[in-house]
Amino acid sequence: VFVLLLAMGRLIRRLTCALAKVLGRLLSDVMARGLAAVMVTVIGAVVLGSLPRLAVVVLHPVFRSANAATAPGVEPPTSDYVSGGPGSSIAWSDLGDQGRTFVAGVTSTSDLEDFSGRQAREPIRAFVGVDSAGTAQARAQRAVAELERFGAFGRAVIAVGTSAGAGIVDPGQVVPLEYLYNGDVATVSTQYSILPSFLSFAVDRPNSVAESKALIEAVRERLQQVPAGERPRMVVFGESLGAFGASDAFEDLADLLRRTDGAMFQGPPNATSLWQRYTDDRQPGSPEHLPVYEDGRHLRWANQPQDLASPPEPFAAPRIVYLQNSSDPVVWWSPTIIWSRPDWLAEPRANGVLPGLPWLPVVTFIGLSGDMMDSQSVPVGHGHVYGTAPVVAWADILRPPGWRPCQTVKLQQHLGG
């Protein structure tokens, strides 16, 4: 990364000098150099801004081929309660690579019963790929039809997930809920892109929010038809770009509390508007890496699972959780770091952030950009690796009747391997 950036810097310098030499024939040296620098900056911004979309056009056949593939070991499901299975209206071939992985990974009733010691229900997993419908609204309607077909509106919980990249739904967020409720859960998501995550983040952020809004509203509308006493609780979730889309599908915290029974957003990108808003509005004395807002009444952040117990005031339903490792570059990466020291480097450092790490204009941004490329090749609890933290988060957000803290520990151990 540094070699590439060094080469780019030298190229920019040479272009600026060459342009200043040409302009110097018409202007003073000072004006020529200044104008040349401005022109190269503008041209560079236009070129760099166009690169992601150019890559999408050039590499589209590659991404289309990847979406049509199936990961090794992923087989068509035999359950009547998942998309692409015998009880589904959606063909296995239309789910996309990530959609097939998602539905095929549903937790088996035998695994649930081995853990709980009780008879379990078959979990529901509904997924609609980009090949199944052409718009966010159409995919949302097909998703609701799948939920209807599987009997999801008679379950205890419906979890609405916003996918990331080419349709990725993080199993680390889905599987814990299936165990917590012994299978009495329906999880639904849709695909809005065939692009890998890094390109999807550059060009698909508006689509992520639009997809999330359409699916959440379609599920909510159908839930309103269920009598209040029989209505499943609806929670929303997302990881990385999925956290961005799921979070920013809501106008503000009040909207999120009004329209859901809880939410978990894992590793939200720094550009997430709702996250930014309440992080910036945190109570004085609470750091950027672990904010406190309104004494944690409905909204809490956690670098580690135990952080959800702070502040000690009651955590009232609906409960909203942002899981954000203190060393996750996805959470802390922002172009503003180029010229401005972020609060998380100005305030007392979080565990996981080097105490002597300085902020240096441009240099810190370059380093953090490099860290993003390796953010999932680190131990659990660091970088973009969250392990069993969602177990604790879901147990706080949507604790089943009779569920005890010791069962949370047991489930963490079970899923942590």
63: number of Cβ within 10 Å = 18
User: Does a structural domain hold residue 6?
Assistant: yes
User: Does a structural domain hold residue 368?
Assistant: no
26-40, 281-295, 351-365: least confident range: 26-40
Interval 378-397 mean pLDDT: 96
Helix axis angle for 363-373 and 2-23, nearest 10°, is 140
Report which of residues 74 and 201 the model is more confident about.
74
Residue 65 has what pLDDT?
85
User: Does a structural domain hold residue 251?
Assistant: no
The rounded Cα 210 to chain-centroid distance in angstroms is 14
- How far is Cα 130 from Cα 166, in angstroms, rounded to an integer? 9
User: Does a structural domain hold residue 150?
Assistant: no
Residues found in the chain: 417
For 144, the token pair is: 């609701």
- How far is Cα 172 from Cα 387, in angstroms, rounded to an integer? 7
User: Does a structural domain hold residue 10?
Assistant: yes
Could you tell me if 78 and 134 are in contact, meaning their C-beta atoms sit under 8 angstroms apart?
no
User: Does a structural domain hold residue 100?
Assistant: no
Q: What confidence tier does 2 reach under pLDDT thresholds 50, 70, 90?
A: very low
- Within 8 A by CB and 6+ apart from 50, the residues are none
pLDDT tens string 283-314? 999 999 999 999 999 999 999 999 999 888 89
Residue 3 has what pLDDT?
43
Residue 371 has what pLDDT?
86
Interval 158-163 mean pLDDT: 98
User: Does a structural domain hold residue 40?
Assistant: yes
Helix axis angle for 389-397 and 405-416, nearest 10°, is 150
- Within 8 A by CB and 6+ apart from 132, the residues are 90, 91, 94, 95, 139, 142
pLDDT at 99 over 80: yes
Q: How many domains does the chain have?
A: 1
User: Residue 285 burial by CB count (10 A; 0-12/13-18/19+): exposed, middle or buried?
Assistant: exposed
Q: What's the one-letter identity of residue 230? A: E
- How far is Cα 325 from Cα 268, in angstroms, rounded to an integer? 10
> DSSP letters of 310-322?
-SSS--PSSEEEE
Q: What is the pTM of this model?
A: 0.87
pLDDT at 218 over 60: yes
8: number of Cβ within 10 Å = 12
Residue 42 has what pLDDT?
61
Could you tell me if 38 and 15 are in contact, meaning their C-beta atoms sit under 8 angstroms apart?
no
CA atoms within 13 A on the CB side of 150: 32
The rounded Cα 239 to chain-centroid distance in angstroms is 2
394: number of Cβ within 10 Å = 28
Residue 364 has what pLDDT?
86
User: Does a structural domain hold residue 400?
Assistant: no
Structural domain boundaries enclosing 28: 1-68
Q: What does pLDDT average to over the chain?
A: 90
Report which of residues 10 and 18 the model is more confident about.
18
